[in-house]
Amino acid sequence: MKKNKLNKQKGQVVLMVLLASALILTLGLSASKQATVETKIDTDQELLKKAFNTAESGIEYYLGTGNKSYEAGSDGGSANLTTKTVGESETLSFGNVILNGGIDYFWLVGHDEKDGSLLKDGFYSTSASSLNICTIDGTNPTFKISYFYKQGDTYGVKSAVLTTANGCVSNFDLKVNGSSVDSLLLSIMPIGSSVKIKLTGTAKFPKQGEEISSVGMVQGVNNTVTVLNKYTVPLFLLEAVTSGGDVINQ
């Protein structure tokens, strides 16, 4: 009887050891799996950062060389770029949010493709006298609008603070004192809210620049960066845009 009882106790001990070993093994495998997952997440995040940086470098490379293929080397990956013209249609929107009190600008004159200078005869709709300035979501904020133009050899700006109706400032007048002028630029500041803006007219708006999309690839991980490369405002207009003042005469 004692021997049977002793064997029974030994069997219970062995069973407990086996259960404990199984539990420890399970916990060890779980911890190992968790560590592997965390390591993979950290690695993926690091590769995403590298792919993002590579995509940005690809954009800088394109802007400097015009080449849409970028190789960063064996460790840095590569980037492929695509571009899309912004403008050259009867509706113009950049799709970005203009913050309350911020300024965005819309060109009403074309640019030389080689050096980005203003064209002497690329003015928007010389036969049109107005256009519509609207919010994309139909809200009705107040706009401070500055309209830059050229009349003969003189540059000028006409400013107005207007409240939208049904989401638009309709038929904004492109004439000055009833006379036709060469349209250059609109700068628009929303007051009271942040909005997305679109312009509509009866003629195609000039090219505003291009949208550049760069896909960075590092060890099979991709990340995409998209930027809007707009034509810049010349210095003689820039001060008037930022201050709301007059343009110099030439």
> What's the CATH code of the domain at 199?
2.60.120
Residue 243 maps to a domain: no
Rg (CA), the chain: 32
**Mean pLDDT over residues 154-182, rounded?**
92
What pLDDT digit, counting tens, does each position of 39-75 carry? 555 667 899 999 999 999 999 999 999 999 999 877 6
**Containing domain of residue 195, as a range?**
88-207
Residue 247 maps to a domain: no
Tell whether the model's pLDDT for residue 184 goes beyond 70.
yes
Rounded Cα distance between 89 and 227, Å, is 20
Q: How many domains does the chain have?
A: 1
Q: Which phi-psi region, left, alpha or beta, contains residue 44 (left: φ > 0; alpha: ψ -120 to 50)?
A: alpha
Residue 66 maps to a domain: no
For residue 139 the two structure tokens come to 């809200």
For residue 182 the two structure tokens come to 């060469």
Q: What is the pLDDT of residue 57?
A: 94
Q: Give the other-Cβ count within 10 Å of 158's Cβ.
A: 15
Residue 132 maps to a domain: yes
Q: What is the pLDDT of residue 3?
A: 53
* In the chain, % of residues over pLDDT 90: 56
Q: What is the pLDDT of residue 247?
A: 46
Residue 184 maps to a domain: yes
Question: Which stretches of the chain are assigned E, i.e. beta strand?
Answer: 69-71, 78-86, 91-92, 104-107, 109-111, 118-123, 130-135, 142-151, 154-163, 168-173, 182-191, 197-200, 209-218, 221-230
Tell whether the model's pLDDT for residue 87 goes beyond 70.
yes
**Mean pLDDT over residues 170-179, rounded?**
91
Residue 67 maps to a domain: no
Tell whether the model's pLDDT for residue 5 goes beyond 90.
no
Full-model pTM: 0.75
Q: What is the pLDDT of residue 9?
A: 58
Residue 69 maps to a domain: no
